[in-house]
Amino acid sequence: MGRKRAFFVMGPPSSGTRMMARLLIAAGCQGDGTHEQRWDDLEPTADLIMMRRHQPNGRVPGWARRRGHDNVIRALQSIGYEVFGVIISRDWSCTIKSQVAAPHVDSVDAGLSLTRSCWRAIFRNLPDGLAFEIVSYESLVQRQTGALERMLERWGLTLVEPVEAIKDANAKYYG
């Protein structure tokens, strides 16, 4: 068995975490780019995985709780994974409008509160010493090839399957 690596994707709802998950899957990580994820039920065993949550303490999988963990990153570390945090950042106006449209929240004020809460929780719950990077949704949209290639290169990954075009979902909010 090789070195076990886990990319843990975090960000407020509607910030681009699913897009980032799909990009990591295209770079060979096992995982799911949907709300339901295989690692919610199954303890991961693959050498290269990705998980996504809105924060490290959000929805702790059963396998992690059974091991006594309330933090998914620490749970992954306890089973031998070198975890790298990927925090996705998106323009707040677009994030919040997307949250209302989804509907994750019922108002702009609720979206603002949720977004602030998620950002506070992300940094409060990151384990000391965890390597992480903040990725800009807008950089990936505006400089698709260059930003993606440099990001994957820094992380020691390469695309193993084609990536769908990264669409600018912000445009509709600025008309």
The CATH number for 133's domain is 3.40.50.300
Q: Are 125 and 56 in contact (CB under 8 A)?
A: yes
Enumerate helices (H) and strands (E) in the chain, giving the number of each: 8, 4
Residue 14 above 60 pLDDT?
A: yes
The confidence score (pLDDT) of residue 40 equals 87
**What residue spans of 60-156 are helical by DSSP H?**
62-66, 72-78, 92-101, 108-124, 137-142, 144-154
Task: Give a yes or no: residue 144 inside a domain.
Answer: yes
What is the residue whose two structure tokens read 């445009």? 171
Share in percent of the chain as helix, strand, coil (round to 5): 40, 15, 45
Lowest model confidence (mean pLDDT) among 4-13, 20-29, 32-41, 142-151: 32-41
pTM of the model: 0.94
- Segment 79-91 mean pLDDT: 97
Number of domains in the chain: 1
Is the distance from CB of 102 to CB of 17 less than 8 angstroms?
Answer: no
In a domain, 82, yes or no: yes
Which structural domain, as residue segments, surrounds residue 22?
5-159
Task: List the structure tokens of 158.
Answer: 């390469």
Residue 166 covered by a domain = no
Is 59 part of a structural domain of the chain?
yes
3-state secondary structure of 155: coil
Query: Which of 76, 98, 96 is closest to 85 using CA atoms?
Result: 76
The answer on pLDDT for 151 being more than 90 is yes
Question: 131 - beta bridge partners?
Answer: 84
Two tokens, residue 93? 């106006």
CA distance 57 to 54: 8
